Chain A
Amino acid sequence: MSYETVVGLEVHSELKTNTKIFCGCPTTFGGEQNTHVCPVCLGLPGVLPVINEKVVEFAIKAGLALNCKINKFSKFDRKNYYYPDLPKNFQTSQFDLPIAEHGYLDIEVNGQTKRIRITRIHMEEDAGKLVHSGTTINDSSSACVDYNRTGVPLIEIVSEPDLSGPEEARAYMEKIKSILEYIDVSHCKMEEGNLRADVNVSLRKTGTTKLGTKAEMKNLNSFKMIESALAYEIERQTEILDDGGHIVQETRTWDEAKGMTVSMRTKEEANDYRYLPEPDLVPIITSDEQIEAIRAALPELPDARKKRLMAECGLSEYDAAIITTTRQMAEYFDAATAQKADAKLVANWMMGDLAKNLNGEGKSIEESPVTAQRLAELVDLISKGTISSKIAKTVFEEMWKTGDAPEKIVKEKGLVQITDTKEIEGIVDSVIAANPKPVEDYKAGNAKSIGFLVGQIMKQSKGKANPAMVNDLLKAKLD
């Protein structure tokens, strides 16, 4: 039997406000346990929440960047459930009037653009963290609670079930991450858990439209995890359906060590959250002026930026997509090309040697020892013919080590390209004289021999001879 996979994502992103959503405690990751807490986030008796206005602003920003309609009348609700990491035993969240609704996001998979609808974006508070006495929850006899994370602001971005598999899910998640980084509302550090997804997946017979029974996989916090868990889950559900079985609606968790999803609870065991309007907070009323002011302050988003780089800088779609993956990369590119450096060369260097070195040392582009300014200078030296591309690689390595200006390195190491015809001619002559056999071979019709001769010439010039001139002069002498 052939099936279609239907996937929807609920992406949780911690917002990078300085303070928590309902109190003045810092949101900084880490910190000694239970030091970023106060009576409000600890839910002590009698305390009241006060909304951090920055959270609302960031949520609206995200809503606009994801093409949503902003609800001018929005409110908070309490989601009631008992769990020891939740000090009030309810989470202040949004139920029927979220801050943003009806958005979309375009993703690209295999050169095809696909529009994924976004149902809603709502604001809520994060819970604390259980610190188990053992290594896993199963071999622990007790647990302690660290409330540092309690009350860190979150937005939850809920998609429609428009995704058709692991690849699209990954592309969607990457795009969400990219946009949230662009608009600067989240650190998006998946390894710190500040960007994570609950993934809903179901199968249906190919060609049918009725949704199948879904399973939800909670708290997947890496792209790879999303792909692996989905792949596993699709296989599991396919097997059940092929055997004539039924999928049980349930929440599952991804066991990284075993490489499989494991059931957490079935629908019957699921919580009835008994939502009620949060009586301690007043509704959030947003004016058109506020929304438009936030819209006006939005930075250029990845799609628009990509189009601009293609149109203005002549980059290929592929290159433009890579350069605009993160806001930091795009800004680096813009900074470099603002120096009038050749855009295509800048892009090549960014995707080539720069990317290689960054990955090698696990650095982000902001930490690059070679600044955009310096890379632009290097590209200029190449464009002007001062150095060859090959020499440029050596110069780049030196720049990476020292952070020095390329011109300085070229001067100090005597790497300036030889463009003097006489000088090159001299070397060409001496190489021809020293290598009669290859010269004969070439003349006998073995075109490949010329490569060897060019190599010898470059070697003798310590790589500095202008390769085009070498080629021309050599051919002129031999032909």
Chain B
Amino acid sequence: MNLFNKPAHVLHDMLINKEITAVELTNDLFARIDEVEGEVKAYITQTREAALAKAKAVDEKIARGEEISFLEGIPGVVKDNICTKGVKTTCASKMLENFVPPYNATVVEKLNAVSPVILGKANLDEFAMGGSTENSAFYPTHNPWNLDCVPGGSSGGSAAAVAAGSAIWSLGSDTGGSIRQPASFCGLVGLKPTYGRVSRFGLVAFASSLDQIGPITRDVTDCAHVMNIIAGYDKNDSTSINAEVPDYTKSLVKDVKGLKIGLPKEYFVAGMDADVEKAVRGAIKQLEDMGAEVVEVSMPHTEYAISAYYLIATAEASSNLARYDGVSYGARVEGTDIVDMFKKTRSEKFGQEVKRRIMLGTYALSAGYYDAYYLQALRVRTLVKQDFDKAFEKVDVLVTPIAPTPAYKIGDMVSDPMKMYLQDVCTVPVNLSGVPGISVPCGFSDNGMPIGLQIIGKPLDEETLIRTAYTFEQNNEFHKSIAPLREAK
């Protein structure tokens, strides 16, 4: 039936109309995983037994004539840095290879309340540090559009699973672009909500002041539905925002007339791939043709954002990851004494990139360097934020590329971390300022790799993002394009 190819809202209707059962759907996904997972490697853990039990329960509910909510019975996957009670949560790290949390993340609790079928846990760059999923301690994930390419990252497993048809929807986390960039690389919709819109409780911290959980889906409609489930205040997360959550599906409206779109010139950086620039400019032209007003804006501190980001994120990471010491949980490598045990455990169980960032962050916070690095980065953060505040006085949304290039070949960038970091130039300012950003497919490169358009909104204005993205999506066919891998089999 190739159910794995459909978006959640279509499958939801099919379930309601009894065209399919949740068990059929789940089994279809299992078959699909068996077919492609060997090549894609999107999963770290699969939870088939629990998934099937959940599907059966949903079918019984439908049989009893009860109403089901949107994700009920629809299979998805959760990034493996989001805690799942009783199910391993590894962060793609040897350090937590066998860690089983005794609690659920708040988003998982919220999902459980609406009974989706969770197929398992998705691969990522170790502790979400990276942009290609090559930093997973277990194996890299492959892009279903071209298996030689990276799926992006760090939520590469979450994106690749949805693109490959081995999950219908997924959750990722975004610290500097980790939802939007893999969504862009895999031809999907990815939303990084406003900082505080979605609870971080149970998300294993990389950089606490930047991390945010969000959905990766096949279209904007699914994105709005998943947001309805996961958004909202959580008393267990002091940084979550206590504000009413709108019904995001009400923003699924084809209308951008009069919408003021800002085009920050600093985001169209030198060295940007020509295909990317063409696709993004084409998308902007389309929005203009549909009645939006496009103005150029200046965000002068953009060029400093990457440096500030890599100081703040690593500083927080150096502290957040200090707890992995082998004492009471996680991996332990025995040593001659406690300090030796700390050293051996952390040297052997963290990967290269994680260690690089811990060292960078430790350095940035050290006595004698603190003012010049960490404090200076905080000042830049304020300036970047002010850039956004000023821009949003004039415009409703900003439209930019997601990344300077489409997905690149696995192994192409691993030897040059600086080049890799610069890939984040269009996404990190959004995290630094806490505003929401969405990635929506807007074209393809000459060699057939997807390209994403980034729409950035005012704080807590995910609605306008969804409306703009939906209008653009419905005017195009990009979201109906299917990864070659998904077609071939």
Which residues of A does B touch, CB under 8 Å?
A: 39, 42-51, 78, 80, 82, 84, 87-90, 143, 145, 147, 272, 274-276, 279-282
Contacts and interface: CB of A to CB of B under 8 A. Distances in A.
Interface of B: 81-83, 89, 91, 96, 99, 101-103, 105, 200-205, 207-209, 235-239, 315-316, 318-319, 322-323, 325, 327-329, 338-339, 342, 362, 365-367, 370, 374
A274 B362 contact: yes
A46 B202 contact: yes
B365 A46 contact: no
A87 B101 CA distance: 16
Contact of B237 (A48, A82, A84, A145): A48
17 contacts: A42-B328, A44-B101, A45-B323, A46-B83, A46-B89, A46-B201, A46-B202, A46-B204, A48-B239, A50-B235, A82-B342, A88-B322, A272-B366, A274-B319, A274-B365, A279-B208, A282-B238
A217 B367 CA distance: 23
B364 to A, nearest CB: 9
Given A274-B366, A280-B239, A281-B239, 10 more contacts: A45-B96, A46-B82, A46-B105, A47-B202, A48-B236, A87-B328, A274-B319, A274-B362, A276-B319, A280-B205
Given A274-B362, A276-B374, A282-B238, A47 B103 contact: yes
Contact of A45 (B91, B235, B342): B91
A48 B323 contact: no
A42 B319 CA distance: 15
A46 B205 contact: yes
A82 B325 contact: yes
B102 A276 contact: no
Nearest to A281: B238
A80 B103 contact: no
A276 B366 contact: no
Contacts of B101: 39, 44-46
A45 to B, nearest CB: 4
Contacts of B338: 84, 143
A469 to B, nearest CB: 75
B238 A39 contact: no
Contact of A39 (B102, B205, B235): B102
A282 B207 CA distance: 15
A30 to B, nearest CB: 21
B343 to A, nearest CB: 10
B241 to A, nearest CB: 10
Nearest to A39: B103
Contacts of A80: 318-319, 322, 365
Nearest to A37: B328
A279 B236 CA distance: 14
Nearest to A80: B319
A89 B328 CA distance: 12
A87 B324 CA distance: 9
A276 B207 CA distance: 12
Contact of B316 (A45, A272, A279): A279
Contacts of B322: 80, 82, 88-90
Contacts of A145: 327-328
Residue in A42, A82, A90, A281 whose Cβ sees the most chain B Cβ within 10 Å: A82
B24 to A, nearest CB: 34
Contact of B208 (A39, A82, A143, A280): A280
A89 B323 CA distance: 5
In the complex, which of the residues A42, A147, A279 has the most CB atoms of chain B within 10 Å of its own CB atom? A279
Nearest to B208: A279
A282 B339 CA distance: 33
A87 B326 CA distance: 10
Contacts of B91: 45
Contacts of B105: 46
A147 B329 CA distance: 13
Contact of B89 (A45, A48, A78): A45
Contacts of B205: 45-46, 280
A296 B253 CA distance: 56
Contacts of B235: 50
Nearest to B102: A39
Contacts of A279: 207-209, 239, 316
A147 B323 CA distance: 14
Nearest to B367: A272
A78 B83 contact: no
Contacts of B237: 48
A77 to B, nearest CB: 10
A234 B314 CA distance: 44
Nearest to B374: A276
B238 A43 contact: no
A51 B237 CA distance: 10
> Which 4 residue pairs of A and B lie closest in terms of their CB atoms, listed nearest first?
A89-B322, A274-B365, A279-B208, A279-B209
A276 B323 CA distance: 16
A43 B323 contact: yes
Contacts of A78: 319
A82 B318 CA distance: 12
Contact of B329 (A44, A88, A281): A44
A62 B477 CA distance: 65
Contacts of B208: 279-280
A277 to B, nearest CB: 8
A143 B337 CA distance: 11
Contacts of B367: 272, 274
A165 to B, nearest CB: 32
B5 to A, nearest CB: 33
Contacts of B204: 45-46
A39 B104 CA distance: 11
A45 B95 CA distance: 11
Nearest to A34: B328
